[in-house]
């Protein structure tokens, strides 16, 4: 072998070895990326989640041909509910043919989107398909759709175009449940899965950028919907999307429904709630007051969540004028005080009957929704308050010690909706661990019993009415017309005030009683309780106290039952 060949062979060998190593590294990198991709499709990216959390407030819209009847979407459909018990009030044949009369000629996507912006909302989620199986978009996979109605237009497309034009983030509610589809939960369910996945591909492909996918699987498992493959498809087509937790997987956020979620820092959440009582439009439905709307928003954001607030448009395509005005009232409030909502995080003081707090940077916003007296006392914090002001007008006296923070605002400057105090600190507020306020209720965490609780589930046990947590409640069984809640204070205590918070306004007559030997004696009574009822009465000294509900329209449910000692 010549000298040149001796030199050339080692060089070739080294180049070959390097190529093998490079190939091996590339294969390993591909394998690593594959593993990373296989995990990432289950969760949104941190930046996408951060952007979603900063928006705080969105518009939910439940709409379809059922608005012609003024009954609940999906649930009022009669016939078999495969996978569920019960049935609706409208015969399936009638319900399923409502679309043939559906012609909402006053629908205007730009007006809906402008209303969301006027309300201070940052995103919109629309029902592309509910449990009734009707598609509000021009799906190529079904004839049961809006473009086959007299209206003929693709509502989803018009809303998508309007949102994109206005810079409003867009999401779709899509039900994996489908009581109309012939293969749903039958021996041919696999064919239904193909249909479901196909419709999701249409939504993720045909309408531009999609920011949110909001499933409503009614407790179905990931296997029921083949959710892992479904998520993989969605995130491949819409890589910046946020997905909720109702398709059998935890996904990106929790979804407490028709209630304010608990204070939760470690996982994102979003309360979905109706502005009236029904998700779909109902004539003369009971609408929340501005106070209820604002205080719900504040309590949700103070608990570190988002609020997705629902309206149900009318059969002609318009959102009911009184709902429009209520949302615009919220928007006017947010124009003044939105800095204490948008882009903030909940805390450091946990939500309670008193109110909530939010923070951003070195600033804490104290939202006082219900003054417990002339002064609000907050737990001590390991940061110094260097300045304070009242965003809602007037002046506050703020006293900080090692034991507590005391805030006083003259009654003339205490606002009915929300008194907002701005506290500026000498360091970041997010370094302060969340802490709870003690409401002063003598009933807090005391032993409690009740006539019954909803299906005997711990989630609705009687102790939830005395836990000082506005996100939990004691609920009774459906059909309950009378009920009682009894608190054992442990020893005789004196009190002269009570606060009771009810959900759904079902109570029609009640009394408060204390036990005198073996006798129950009434010391206060009333009719409606509502969102928050404050009662004053002559001082009572007793160990056992009972909220006796004498008459209710339906199973009553109580958020909080509180008792307070006389003021010194």
Residues 103 and 178 in one domain: yes
Q: Residue 112 — very low, low, confident or very high, per pLDDT cuts 50/70/90?
A: very high
Looking at 176-263, list the stretches that DSSP marks H as alpha helix, in order from N- to C-terminal side.
189-205, 222-225, 227-237
**Which segments of 280-438 does DSSP mark as H helices, in order?**
290-302, 321-337
pLDDT digits (tens, 9 = 90+) for 403-461: 999 999 999 999 999 999 999 999 999 999 999 887 789 999 999 999 999 999 999 99
Question: Mean of the pLDDT values across residues 145-161?
Answer: 98
Going by their DSSP bridges, the two strands 355-360 and 363-368 should be labelled as antiparallel
Could you tell me if 86 and 8 lie in one domain? no
Which tokens belong to 121? 């909302």
What is the tally of structural domains in the chain?
A: 4
| Angle between helical axes of 227-237 and 189-205 (0-180°, round to 10) | 20
Alpha-carbon dihedral 303, 332, 282, 505, rounded to 10 degrees = 50
The pLDDT tens digits of the residues spanning 329-387 come to 999 999 999 999 999 999 999 998 899 999 999 999 999 999 877 899 999 999 999 99
Determine the pLDDT at residue 437: 86
116, two tokens: 């969301």
* Count of Cβ atoms closer than 10 Å to residue 94 Cβ: 11
Please say if the pLDDT value at position 14 is more than 80.
no
- Containing H/E element for 378? strand 375-379
The values of phi and psi at residue 225, to 5°, are -115, 5
464-484 core/surface letters (b: 16 or more CB in 10 A; e: else): bbbbbbbbbbbbbeeebeebb
Instruction: Say if residue 474's pLDDT is above 90.
Output: yes
Please give the Cα distance from 297 to 371 (Å, whole number): 18
Give the pLDDT band of residue 34 (cuts 50, 70, 90). very low
pLDDT at 548 over 60: yes
Cβ contact 144:133 at 8 Å? yes
Residue 327 within any structural domain of the chain: yes
Average pLDDT over residues 150-163: 98
> Do residues 367 and 269 share a domain?
no
Q: Do 318 and 463 sit in the same domain of this protein?
A: no
pLDDT digits (tens, 9 = 90+) for 53-67: 999 999 999 999 999
CATH number at residue 378: 2.60.40.1180
Within-domain flag for 440: no
Is residue 156 helix, strand or coil?
helix
> Which of the listed residues 431, 463, 487 is the one where a domain comes to its end?
431
Q: Is residue 363 located within the same domain as residue 498?
A: no
Please identify, among 309, 340, 371, the residue that sits at the C-terminal boundary of a domain: 340
- 436, part of any domain: no
Residue 49 phi, psi dihedral angles, 5° rounding: -65, -40
Structural domain includes residue 145: yes
* pLDDT of 318 strictly over 60: yes
Torsion of CA 214, 215, 216, 221, to 10 degrees: -150
- Out of 284, 305, 340, a domain closes at 340
Domain around 549: 447-564
Tokens standing for 158? 């018009």
Residues facing residue 422 across a β-bridge: 365, 389
Judge whether 292 and 300 are in contact, CB under 8 Å.
no
Residue 439 located in a structural domain: no
| CATH code where residue 485 lies | 2.60.120.260
Strand partners, 357: 366
Which tokens is 148 given? 């086959």
- List the CATH number of the domain containing 288: 3.20.20.80
Does one domain contain both 243 and 138?
yes
Instruction: Give the contacts of 198 (CB within 8 A, at least 6 positions apart).
Output: 141
Q: 523 and 493 share a domain?
A: yes
The answer to whether position 437 is within a domain reads: no
Cα dihedral 218, 223, 227, 228 sign: positive
Mind listing the pLDDT tens digit for each residue in 239-256?
999 999 999 999 999 999
Whether 299 and 369 have beta carbons less than 8 Å apart is answered as yes
Same domain, 485 and 503: yes
CB neighbour burial string for 194-228, b if at least 16 within 10 angstroms, e if fewer: ebbbebbbbbbeebeebbbbbbbbeebebebbbbb
In a domain, 9, yes or no: yes
- Asked if residue 172 has pLDDT above 50, the reply is yes
256 lies in the same domain as 356 = no
Q: What is the pLDDT of residue 39?
A: 58
Percentage of residues of the chain with pLDDT beyond 70: 93
Considering the domain architecture, whether residues 129 and 67 belong to the same structural domain is answered as yes
Domain contains 309: yes
pLDDT at 284 over 90: yes
| Mean pLDDT, rounded, for 38-63 | 93
Tell whether the model's pLDDT for residue 131 goes beyond 60: yes
Q: What is the pLDDT of residue 28?
A: 37
Name the pTM for this structure.
Answer: 0.84
Is there a single domain that holds both residue 248 and residue 184? Answer: yes
Q: Are residues 352 and 256 in the same domain?
A: no
């Amino acid at each position: 072998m010549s000298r040149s060949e001796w030199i050339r062979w080692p060089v070739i060998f080294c180049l070959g070895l390097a190529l093998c190593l490079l190939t091996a590294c590339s294969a390993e990198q591909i394998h690593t990326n594959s593993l990373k991709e296989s995990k990432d499709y289950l969760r949104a990216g941190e930046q996408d989640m951060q952007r979603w959390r900063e928006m705080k407030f969105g518009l939910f819209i439940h709409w379809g041909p059922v608005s012609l009847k003024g009954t609940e979407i999906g649930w009022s459909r009669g016939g078999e509910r495969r996978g569920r018990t019960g049935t609706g009030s409208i015969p399936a044949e009638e319900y399923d043919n409502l679309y043939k009369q559906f012609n909402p000629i006053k629908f205007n996507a730009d007006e809906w989107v402008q209303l969301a912006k006027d309300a201070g909302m940052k995103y919109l989620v629309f029902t592309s398909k509910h449990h009734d199986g009707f598609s509000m978009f021009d799906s190529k996979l079904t004839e049961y759709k809006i473009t086959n109605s007299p209206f003929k237009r693709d509502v989803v497309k018009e809303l998508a175009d309007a949102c994109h034009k206005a810079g409003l983030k867009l999401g779709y509610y899509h039900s994996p449940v489908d009581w109309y589809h012939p293969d749903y939960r039958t021996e041919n369910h696999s064919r239904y899965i193909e249909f479901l996945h196909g419709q999701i591909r249409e939504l993720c492909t045909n309408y531009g950028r999609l920011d949110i996918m909001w499933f409503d699987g009614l407790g179905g498992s990931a296997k029921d919907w083949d959710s892992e493959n479904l998520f993989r498809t969605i995130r491949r087509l819409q890589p910046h999307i946020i997905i909720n937790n109702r398709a059998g997987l935890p996904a990106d956020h929790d979804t407490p429904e028709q209630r304010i979620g608990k204070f939760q820092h470690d996982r994102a959440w979003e309360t979905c709630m109706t502005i009236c009582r029904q998700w779909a439009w109902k004539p003369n439905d009971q609408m929340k007051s501005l106070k209820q709307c604002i205080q719900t928003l504040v309590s949700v954001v103070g608990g570190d969540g988002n609020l997705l607030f629902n309206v149900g448009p009318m059969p002609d395509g318009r959102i009911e004028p009184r709902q429009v005005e209520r949302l615009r009232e919220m928007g006017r409030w947010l124009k003044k005080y939105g800095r204490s909502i948008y882009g903030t995080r909940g805390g450091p003081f946990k939500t309670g009957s008193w109110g909530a707090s939010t923070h951003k940077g070195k600033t804490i916003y104290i939202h006082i929704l219900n003054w417990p007296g002339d002064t609000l006392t907050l737990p001590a914090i390991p940061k110094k308050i260097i300045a304070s002001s009242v965003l809602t007008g007037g002046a506050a006296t703020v006293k900080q010690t090692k034991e507590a923070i005391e805030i006083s605002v003259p009654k003339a400057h205490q606002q009915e909706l929300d008194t907002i105090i701005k506290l500026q600190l000498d360091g970041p507020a997010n370094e302060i661990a969340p802490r709870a306020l003690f409401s002063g209720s003598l009933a807090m965490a005391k032993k409690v019993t009740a006539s019954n609780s909803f299906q005997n589930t711990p989630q609705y046990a009687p102790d939830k009415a005395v836990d000082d947590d506005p996100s939990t409640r004691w609920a009774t069984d459906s059909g309950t017309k009378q009920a009682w809640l009894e608190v054992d204070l442990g020893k005789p205590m004196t009190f002269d005030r009570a606060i009771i918070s009810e959900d759904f306004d079902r109570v029609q007559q009640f009394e408060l009683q204390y036990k005198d030997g073996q006798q129950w004696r009434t010391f206060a009574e009333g009719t409606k309780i509502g969102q928050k009822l404050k009662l004053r009465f002559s001082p009572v000294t007793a160990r056992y106290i009972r909220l006796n509900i004498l008459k209710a329209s339906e199973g009553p449910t109580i958020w909080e039952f509180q008792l307070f000692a006389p003021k010194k």
